[in-house]
């Protein structure tokens, strides 16, 4: 990784200054950052196409916390949690740039994302995907599933959906079956995913139709709402969700929509719903996700044009850094 001595605003904005490489240079065990700058299916305010770039730029604020390394220190302490982070980081973080997208063609974009994720997983790397609207999760999950089918006969896969929305729409006249409100419904139809291993975290007050609610209640899925987060705490909700989603499974996919965070803390997103988690709870959630046996993670719906302050991009980047720190420092 590039030294942390340069100012955050200098140089090429890869995620956390990871080296920019092609998939052919990935090694087994690498963490592969890949962007999906696509928001054509967003049914509300667009701008998530700029999310990958915004999150990458948001990650660079971390260099200002690295001044101790210039003095020869080999550790840093999280002032909020007391956690010790060791340096130098392991040389495993790679930035692949963005998958090719076709703004006017959902099918071609989907094929590009499927192929890209499948390739990363088959190379033995860990995909960390930056959206993009929440539709991009579906082709990413398809690629994840396709790779697992090549690795093992009849794999079982789990799914955790962290979002203020359920994304269980089956079909609409305006958007059809493939848009950012149908992602989880499409995932539930894939061969390797059973609804009994699908878990939702963070629904916070948006209204849904009866058919979507009935699907959630009657198909064997599990939901932890904002009320559950308030009563149980973020850590316990994630622990229970992971146990359900991973039961009997070979791996699982975790998708995080930034609008799970209340609009007061993350205004840069297209489909906000009030009553979400706080920024502090979001960081707790990202810390808790470290223990989840995930094989791929995405963070979607960050729309930098809707937040000129950069708050939302930086929050998303900080959460991903918190999630990745133990892997990077070898802890």
Q: Note down pLDDT in tens along the chain; length 331 residues.
A: 555 567 777 778 899 999 999 999 999 999 999 999 999 988 788 999 999 999 999 999 887 776 656 566 778 888 888 888 887 788 999 999 999 999 999 999 999 999 999 999 999 999 999 999 999 999 999 999 999 999 999 999 999 999 999 888 877 766 667 777 789 999 999 999 999 999 999 998 677 788 888 888 888 999 999 999 999 999 999 999 999 999 999 999 999 999 999 999 999 999 888 999 999 999 999 999 999 999 999 999 999 999 999 999 999 999 999 999 999 988 6
What is the C-alpha to C-alpha distance for residues 179 and 145, in angstroms, rounded to an integer?
20
Q: Which residues, in sequence order, are bridge partners of residue 299? A: 130, 256
pLDDT for res 44 = 82
Report the pLDDT value the prediction gives residue 209, as an integer from 0 to 100. 80
User: Would you call the peptide bond into 88 cis, given omega within 30 degrees of 0 as the criterion?
Assistant: yes
Return d(Cα 296, Cα 130) in angstroms, integer. 11
* Those residues with Cβ within 8 angstroms of residue 105's Cβ, 6 or more apart along the chain or in another chain: none
Give the phi and the psi of residue 240 in degrees, each rounded to 5.
-65, -40
pTM of the entire predicted model: 0.93
Query: How many residues are there in the chain?
Result: 331
Task: Kindly tell me the burial class for residue 100, based on how many C-beta atoms sit within 10 Å of its own C-beta (0-12, 13-18, 19 or more).
Answer: middle
Residue 63 contacts residue 4 (beta carbons within 8 Å): yes
Whole-angstrom distance, CA of residue 201 vs CA of residue 319: 16
CA distance 290 to 322: 9
> Does residue 251 have a cis peptide bond before it, meaning omega lies within 30 degrees of 0?
no
Q: Taking Cα atoms as reference points, which of 134, 142, 141 lies closest to residue 175?
A: 134
List 126's β-bridge partners, or say none.
31
pLDDT at residue number 3: 56
Closest CA to 34 of 107, 91, 90, 100: 100
Helices (H), the chain: 51-59, 106-122, 137-151, 183-188, 210-218, 226-232, 234-246, 279-288, 311-329
Helix 51-59 vs helix 311-329: crossing angle, to nearest 10:
60
The confidence score (pLDDT) of residue 122 equals 98
Contact call for residues 198 and 205 (beta carbons, < 8 A): no
- Look up residue 30 and give its two tokens: 């690498």
What structural domains does the chain harbor? 15-329 (3.40.800.10)
């Amino acid at each position: 990784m590039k030294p942390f001595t340069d100012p955050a605003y200098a140089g090429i904005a890869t995620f956390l200054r990871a080296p920019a490489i092609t998939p052919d240079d990935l090694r087994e065990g690498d963490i592969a950052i890949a962007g999906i700058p696509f928001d054509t299916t967003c049914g509300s305010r667009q701008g998530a196409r700029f999310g990958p770039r915004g999150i990458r730029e948001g990650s660079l604020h971390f260099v200002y916390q690295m001044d101790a390394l210039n003095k020869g220190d080999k550790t840093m302490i999280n002032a909020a949690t007391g956690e010790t982070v060791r340096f130098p980081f392991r040389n495993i973080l790679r930035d692949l740039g963005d998958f090719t997208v076709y703004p006017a063609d959902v099918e071609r974009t989907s094929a590009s994302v499927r192929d890209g994720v499948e390739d990363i997983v088959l190379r033995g790397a860990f995909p960390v995907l930056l959206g993009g609207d929440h539709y991009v999760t579906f082709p990413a999950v398809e690629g994840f599933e396709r790779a697992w089918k090549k690795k093992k006969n009849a794999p079982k896969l789990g799914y955790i959906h962290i979002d203020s929305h359920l994304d269980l729409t089956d079909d609409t006249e305006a958007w059809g079956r493939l848009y950012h409100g149908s992602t989880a419904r499409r995932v539930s139809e894939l061969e390797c995913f059973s609804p009994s291993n699908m878990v939702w975290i963070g629904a916070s007050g948006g209204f849904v139709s009866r058919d979507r609610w009935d699907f959630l209640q009657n198909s064997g899925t599990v939901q932890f709402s904002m009320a559950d987060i308030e009563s149980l705490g973020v850590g316990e909700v994630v622990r229970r969700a992971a146990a359900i989603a991973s039961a009997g499974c070979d791996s699982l996919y975790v998708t995080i929509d930034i609008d799970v965070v209340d609009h007061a803390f993350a205004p840069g997103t297209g489909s906000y719903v009030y009553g979400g988690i706080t920024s502090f709870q979001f960081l707790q959630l990202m810390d808790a996700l470290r223990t989840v046996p995930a094989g791929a993670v995405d963070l979607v719906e960050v729309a930098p044009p809707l937040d000129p302050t950069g708050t939302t991009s930086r929050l998303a980047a900080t959460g991903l850094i918190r999630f990745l720190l133990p892997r990077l420092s070898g802890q």
